[in-house]
Structure 1
């Protein structure tokens, strides 16, 4: 009987040792999987990728490289939700700012400094729109969003946008949703543009198409930009 008692104690100790060994092994595996993602490592990633470590501006999908301005443009939705134009992390035109309206909402920015030089609702006479567009100097960044109806564009106005780089202005029709961004005065300039056509069969809203939206980055040095449509 004494022998059996000793044997039971030995077996119990062996089992405890095995359980302790397995637990220690698993704990070691888990500790090996822990990765310290500290600030120094994040800074190294930002340097390697060529990105600024600051917050992504205008909530675009990818951060702009240093020396670039971020922007995001959204057209209006139906005749109830106004457009929004964000540049370099600042909302320039929106319903919240109470400075958007039917027609074309347009922002003109100094392409070197990033300073907003003008923001206007173009829904008046064609002469007013023509005068405004002709006053835009080469090298300026132009951001445009349509709202409700941009059908008051004459052929001359359409031609001016086409000369800036637009491939959609000449075909823009009643209640089409259109957004456009470009740096003016550059030969073979890249532009950002999207149009959602007013189509009764495919409109998201009754009588109006889905909102159009673009985002991207413009270099602060007069040159090319990174193209991205959303």
Structure 2
């Protein structure tokens, strides 16, 4: 078995910004009561991580990602990637801009790493085939069809998984959108094993 190491990615696509997490701790560091913005609807076994991944809403409400009830709110106009060890502590952050284009370092993930992704605003414009294929290799079955202003959340892993059960996708469909030009936000909660078989 391989120990898992979560990585958090949130698609934000309006501007390239550099931001690093050290000095900016999680907003909620309490692990005792399961209440507030990171509330889980069920308890996770001791050998699993609890997580909550929520996409953004239109280009107004930023996505949020929680690991073990620690909230990492993702500011507007930023794409963040968190590399965290199996205890849930952040080791590295990376920024991407999927609107203007750029390099994607998803391939640098080590086997046993878990990745958490959430879309915001417009995640697909410059998400090239190479990046889509890398994310598909992590277990995504929806990344290849991710289109203009679609909403998408995903939790996968490098090594150990072929297809992830932790993924939700809503297509941008103007007549049925909740927010005019954007679909409603997506909420995904669950438990992910700390080791991959």
Question: TM-score, normalised to structure 1's length?
Answer: 0.64
- Equivalent residue, structure 1, for 2:83: 108
- Give the Cα separation in 1 of the matches to 2:180 and 2:163: 36
1:165 counterpart residue number: 139
Check the 8 A contact 2:111/2:159 in 1, yes or no: yes
> What is the CA–CA distance in structure 2 between the aligned matches of 1:191 and 1:139, rounded to whole Å?
17
Change (3 A) 1:204 1:64: same
What does residue 195 of structure 2 align with? 221
Structure 2: tracts of 5 or more residues without a match: 1-31
Match of 1:90 in 2: 70
1:63 match: 43
Q: Which of 117, 138, 142 is equivalent to 1:144? A: 117
After superposition, the Cα gap between the structure-2 partners of 1:87 and 1:187, relative to the gap in structure 1 and judged at 3 Å, is closer
Contact between 1:183 and 1:191, CA under 8 Å: does it hold in 2?
no
Per-residue deviation, 1:216 = 0.7
Report if aligned partners of 1:107, 1:144 keep a CA contact under 8 Å in 2. no
- How many pairs align? 163
CA distance in 2, matches of 1:145, 1:120: 15
Instruction: Tell me the C-alpha RMSD between the 2 structures.
Output: 2.2
Aligned-residue offset at 1:218 = 1.4
- Determine helix, strand or coil for the equivalent of 2:195: coil
Using a 3 Å threshold, how does the CA distance of structure 1 residues 156 and 143 change in structure 2: closer, same or farther? Answer: same
More strand per residue: 1 or 2? 2
Which of 87, 90, 103 in structure 2 is aligned with 1:128?
A: 103
How far 1:127 moved relative to its partner? Answer: 4.1
Deviation at 1:219, TM superposition (A): 1.9
2:136 counterpart SS class: helix
Q: Choose between structure 1 and 2: higher helix proportion.
A: 1
Moved more, 86-95 or 209-218: 86-95
Q: 1:192 to 1:148 in 2, by over 3 A?
A: same
Task: For CA contacts below 8 A with separation 6 or more, give which structure has more relative contact order.
Answer: 2
Closer, same or farther: CA 105–198 of 1 in aligned 2, 3 Å: farther
Map of 1:15-34 to 2, 5 A cutoff?
none
Match of 2:54 among 48, 65, 74: 74
